[in-house]
Amino acid sequence: MAKPTEALIVIDVQNDFCPGGLLAVPDGDAIIARINAAMRGFGVRVLTQDWHPADHTSFAANHPGAAVYSMLNMPYGPQVLWPVHCVQGSVGAQFHPGLQTDPADLVIRKGFRSAIDSYSAFFENDHTTPTGLDGYLRARGVTAVTLVGLATDFCVAYSALDAARLGYSVTVLEGACRAIDLNGSLANARELMQMAGVVLSV
């Protein structure tokens, strides 16, 4: 029986983050069957979708001479410069065709402001500009969230940390996530989540 106070938040299961995509996470499509099965156990289901304009400042291609995966200081803090990915309206930005999207109550599009990246489902990377998800969940009476999707060490972790900061009970199903693991980013993200009280479950 699905509990109405518990939400499943499915992070960025999009073509560009799956094998063959422009920013493919290893085995990114291997989690889809588990995510689809998990949806039946939650009263609220939310999908997030990276949705970047082509001129997004997080793209290395928009900084002449900058290397992909290098760091750049933005007004809101350090920013990884990514390959171009999940451009608005592109095939790469679409949800993976294996993901069941019909059960979703809400789709949150993030990263659509060209001057700021948005890893978290709750806030832009300035940690203050909201996506609207918190208000939606509170209006639905949600007190606990479970996160799955891509990638563990970036958008999933940022979402989990923000959810904990907002007072939700937070679980990350690591078996239904995959990581990029950029220069030790996975170990760092796991440590931060555990320190924040996030439950890391298999």
Task: Report the pLDDT value the prediction gives residue 103, as an integer from 0 to 100.
Answer: 96
Does the pLDDT value for residue 1 go beyond 80? Answer: no
pLDDT tier at 120 (50, 70, 90 boundaries)?
Answer: very high
* Known active-site residue 181: no
Q: What is the pLDDT of residues 22-32, one digit of tens each?
A: 999 999 999 99
CA distance 147 to 101: 16
pLDDT tier at 3 (50, 70, 90 boundaries)?
Answer: confident
CA distance 146 to 160: 8
Q: What average pLDDT does the chain have? A: 97
The single residue of 12, 16, 134, 162 carrying the catalytic annotation is 12
Task: Report the pLDDT value the prediction gives residue 139, as an integer from 0 to 100.
Answer: 98
On the CB side of 126, how many CA atoms lie within 13 Å of its CA?
11
Which among 73, 67, 153 has a CA at the least distance from the CA of 117? 73
Task: Assign 188 to helix, strand or coil.
Answer: helix
In percent, how much of the chain has pLDDT > 70? 100
- Which residues, 6 or more positions from 108, have their beta carbon under 8 angstroms from its beta carbon? 46, 47, 48, 49, 121, 131, 132, 133
pLDDT tier at 2 (50, 70, 90 boundaries)?
Answer: confident
* Known active-site residue 155: yes
Query: How many other C-beta atoms lie within 10 A of the C-beta of residue 178?
Result: 26
* Known active-site residue 110: yes
The single residue of 18, 86, 153, 155 carrying the catalytic annotation is 155
Sign, CA torsion 32/111/121/47: negative
* pTM exceeding the 0.75 threshold for the entire prediction: yes
